Chains A and B, each alone.
Chain A
Amino acid sequence: MKINSREKDNVVIFDIEGEIRRSDITDVTLHQMVKKNLDSGCRNILLNFQKVDFIDSFGVGEILASYISTQNLGGKLKLAKISKKLYMVFQVTMLTKVLEIFDNEETAFNSFFPE
């Protein structure tokens, strides 16, 4: 798994690549990276899954842990471009009711700035 982060109008966008698996844990996990950004005062997080091939339960756990951390600090965590399959997993587990998921990055980004 490879994570690149970029910032745009106070929103930190994480571009995730590859697979998010327990077996492929890198030195820094997604949650740690989100926390780092939260610690640095950034409260709007967008996770872009466009280049993600696979996420296992560990990956979902990372997303949820990031969501809790963000939410508890009054921030917002949103997801974009998740695969249809992951969407189904989220639906089955009711995470679609909790997480904000968007079809593309632009819509997700714009949702941070309601008119």
Chain B
Amino acid sequence: MAKWFETHLPKIVLAPSFIAVLIFVYGFIGWTAWVSLTRSKLMPRYEIDGFIQYDRLFASPRWDTAMNNLYIFGGMFIVISLVLGLILAILLDQQIRVEGAIRTIYLYPMALSMIVTGTAWKWILNPGLGVQAMVQGWGFENFKFDWLVNPDMAIYTVVMAAIWQSSGFVMALFLAGLRSVDTEIIRAAQIDGIPTWRVYTAIIIPSMAPIFLSAFIVLAHLAIKSFDLVIALTGGGPGYATDLPATYMYAMAFSRGDVGQAASSAMIMMLVIFIIVVPYLYSELRAKND
């Protein structure tokens, strides 16, 4: 009995959370997929009616804008955060004084919620209150920085705020990576007289590949589910110029009573995440099986 208990204890302990995940994650994904095939309006209905919601979704110019914004936002946010994080990490790795204090300063934005970041940047970028008003106040009357209220540029203000928030976190990841590189190899390279930049590009950065992947995955899912930052910073505006798929889904589900449409947009969002995550999972699993 005791033996049986011992061998099965891990399974018993894990079972409740496994069941919970099964129902509340995968069960509800299935439910959303079902609803996305119906004509649900205010409340979910369950009569399947083909791909009408997806047809409507792809015919909607607002959804086009949302997906375009996702590409712009996701692409720039991930690439710039990675590059900036890496540069900061390398600079911090030069055995400088007060490294701890500087590291904390760069990491600090991560401690704020996106709502706070969004509100602060809204004030900074507001042409009547923030940077533009300040510089004009210094006497540069022609200075113009109205990206926040310019429909063509507003999405870039979201990118700016998101990078400010996350690059410190990426820096911390890379810093840990830099510290984990075998110092023996670096020292050997230095003895051989290889210049520092070559040490970085040929030895250190390639050996940090797993960290790049982790950082990429974290940033990518942050980008795709990004919602609160847009709501706080621009409210999706001007017009719907800074709508993202998540804000589109929210509007359909909770403001417009169009649950079927919201479900179909949620499925597309999940598909995008799958496209990014599945290769990652695949490579991870394959590595383990080898």
Do A and B come together as binding partners? no
